[in-house]
Structure 1
Amino acid sequence: MEKINIAVDGFSSCGKSTIAKGLAKELGYTYIDSGAMYRAVALLAYRNGWMTDAEINEARLQKHIPEIEISFETNSEGQQETYLNGENVEKEIRSLEIGNGASRVSTLGFVRRELVRQQQAMGKKKGVVMDGRDIGTVVFPDAEFKIFLTATPEVRAQRRFDELQAKGNPVSYEETLANVRERDERDTTRTESPLRKAADAIELDNSHISINEQLQWAIDMFNKITKQK
């Protein structure tokens, strides 16, 4: 069967990566976490002092953005890990601080243009499942299968809180909920590639359905779409 590209977009903490990873594994496709790429940029900006909690030195970041190379490798346990200029940064980029930083740098046009360029190159040969905020609208506007995930802010905050607690990150539920709402506002109102549902995307509210149910739904939709091709 001829391979296609699959775009999975949606709000933060909607389980985009969980569905995208599961779908890629089921289909034998390559999974790409576009959000991890923005997190990697944020990490580098924090490390070098180009970004603080108060501001971003856009001139310095723009000067160095062409030097940033982000790649993904699978570890011995079959888990995908993010590499920034050859360094494994998977653990560092998963903090709440870096997640918020990623949302901030994603508003910058020069950052988005460079990462979109890298993402589009990854999908040239098809057979890619990529998740993010603008995959179906900007990165792969011609993707044959587009999913848009949503859930209530409270449900998403609880999921994120549980994940952070499991990783040993000291954060409260209230702080996590505030962060979710802040990111929603930033993601949907930014000038450069705001979060929105593509006209041809299929929406799924996963507030009250299990991961297995979501994955089965996605597989059923994939089979339906590919049979029509």
Structure 2
Amino acid sequence: MIIAIDGPAASGKGTLAKRLAAHYGLRHLDTGVIYRAVAYALISAGADLKDEAAAVKAAQELDPEIFDDPALKSHQVGSAASVVSAIPRMREVLVEFQRQFAAAPPGAVLDGRDIGTVICPNADVKIFVVADPRVRARRRTLEAQSRGEEADEATILADILARDERDQNRAVAPLRPAKDAYLLDNSDLDIEGGVRAAIDIVEAVRAGRQRV
């Protein structure tokens, strides 16, 4: 079974994806991490974030071992990843990486911004998770503070709005729900409530299609 979880940053989709993967015994991939890893490689090398050749090279040399590096979660790397993700040739390399991950047994839960529309258009279940930008800014602020980082909520909100605008209007794989995706508004749900809502969606789809 392949489950595609899409939605804007800090909407709660990452937590839902991890919990769904654990619940169903599937593998999990936070696809945003691989773009962050490329962005981090460029930043570390002092390269221009719009340098296509450098971005493609970083994607081809991607090391999954760094996916858990706390440095990838910084606000700077997140913003850089949004810029890097607009490079078509680099995206082609990472698209193949994601598809191979999804295709391996026993299946997977992938979360990102174009899983149901581009990466896995034939996913068994597609969920598009949203949340009010102000709620997302608050969540991101608390996350940063929990890591000991200084965080200004107003600045983070402005960045979230700018990032949404950029991602929704980019020429390649813009952020939008797949036509057959289920919308899950996570604004007023805690973690447990969001997970239960997502499981309900998966079970409803499985029951209707009779497929796993």
- Give 5+ residue unaligned stretches, structure 2: none
- Give 5+ residue unaligned stretches, structure 1: 72-82
- Report deviation, 1:89: 5.3
Mapped to 2, the partners of 1:40 and 1:89 lie a distance apart of 10
Helix, strand or coil at the partner of 2:180: coil
Aligned to 1:112: 91
The alignment-based identity, stated in percent, is 38
Q: Any idea what the Cα deviations from partners look like across 1:133-164, whole Å, max 9, x if unmatched?
A: 00000000000100001111101000000000
Mapped to 2, the partners of 1:195 and 1:93 lie a distance apart of 21
- Of 43, 52, 56, 2:50 maps to 56
1:66-105 alignment runs, 5 A limit: 67-71=60-64, 83-84=65-66, 90-105=69-84
Helix, strand or coil at the partner of 2:103: coil
The residue type equivalent to 1:100 in the other structure is S
- Of 4, 17, 21, 1:7 maps to 4
Q: Any idea what the Cα deviations from partners look like across 1:30-60, whole Å, max 9, x if unmatched?
A: 1101000000000001111213xxx532233
Aligned to 1:23: 20
Report the TM-score, using the length of structure 2 for normalisation: 0.93
Q: Any idea what the Cα deviations from partners look like across 1:83-120, whole Å, max 9, x if unmatched?
A: 24xxx652110000000000000011012111110000
The residue type equivalent to 2:117 in the other structure is T
Report the TM-score, using the length of structure 1 for normalisation: 0.87
Larger proportion of strand: 1
Aligned to 2:44: 47
The residue type equivalent to 2:124 in the other structure is E
Mapped to 2, the partners of 1:66 and 1:94 lie a distance apart of 18
Helix, strand or coil at the partner of 1:208: coil
Mapped to 1, the partners of 2:54 and 2:73 lie a distance apart of 24
Mapped contact 2:59–2:90 kept (Cα < 8 A): no
The residue type equivalent to 2:175 in the other structure is L
Mapped contact 1:147–1:203 kept (Cα < 8 A): yes
- Of 29, 34, 46, 2:31 maps to 34
Residues 1:181 and 2:161 are matched in the alignment: yes
- Of 107, 131, 141, 2:111 maps to 131
Mapped contact 2:137–2:160 kept (Cα < 8 A): yes
Runs of 4+ in 1 over 2 A off after TM superposition: 55-62
Mapped to 2, the partners of 1:96 and 1:222 lie a distance apart of 32
Mapped contact 2:38–2:59 kept (Cα < 8 A): no
Task: Give the direction of change, closer, same or farther, for the CA distance of 1:166–1:66 in structure 2 (3 Å limit).
Answer: closer
Mapped to 2, the partners of 1:221 and 1:69 lie a distance apart of 33
Mapped to 1, the partners of 2:171 and 2:114 lie a distance apart of 12
- Of 194, 203, 210, 1:214 maps to 194
